[in-house]
Amino acid sequence: MASEGAQGHHFFLANAEDTQCFGRVMAAAANDGGEQPLVIFLQGDLGAGKTTLSQGFIRAAGHTGAVKSPTYTLVEPYENLATPVYHFDLYRLADPEELEFLGFRDYLEKRCILLIEWPKKGEGFLPPADITINVRVAKREQNQVTSVGRQASIVPASPRGDQLLQTLLGLWQNQNKA
């Protein structure tokens, strides 16, 4: 279910499977053939579902092996895909300058998708996001039944992000009709 509000478009995700499904649909929308890196910020508290969403995204992009959280490695590369995906988790970054030592600028010189968890930890060194996804625990009341799941709120921040959101909305609507 999608809705629009002051902080972008909101999607209620009932469980981990819905969150991975959302990641898969997001990957399909992100396949825009752009020549510049597509920068996607993933924000939310610990355990909110950022990595679960990323797992769905990376599998849909064509990765068939395990999708590991980059919590300790800071980046997990998935380079053997039609469009390489680099999944960053900056939670353990002590200083944004550490991105220089990781060679972060090199990622900005190629056609790829950057999924970046905890982007605030890299402020000053990260490029602006094309789109930001905020994931949080949420409750939904429907037919006098309260269910707990996740809410993904999407805020585009560039023309490419606007296009990605429009494509995502169409794909998500079609997904939920099936």
Give 99-131 pLDDT, tens digit per residue. Answer: 988 889 898 888 999 999 999 999 989 999 999
Residue 46 has pLDDT above 90, yes or no: no
DSSP letter (8 states) at residue 13 = E
Report pLDDT for 145.
Answer: 65
HSE-up of residue 88 (Cα within 13 Å, Cβ side): 26
d(CA 93, CA 122): 8
What is the average pLDDT value for the chain, to the nearest integer?
87
Strands of 75-78's sheet in order across: 2-5, 8-13, 145-156, 131-142, 38-43, 113-117, 85-89, 75-78
Angle formed at CA 88 by CA 8 and CA 106, multiple of 5 degrees: 110
Give the residue carrying structure tokens 């919590």: 71
Which of 20-24, 127-131, 145-149, 168-172 is predicted least confidently?
145-149
**Between residues 116 and 172, which one has the greater pLDDT?**
116
Each residue of 128-158: pLDDT tens digit? 999 999 999 887 777 666 677 889 999 999 9
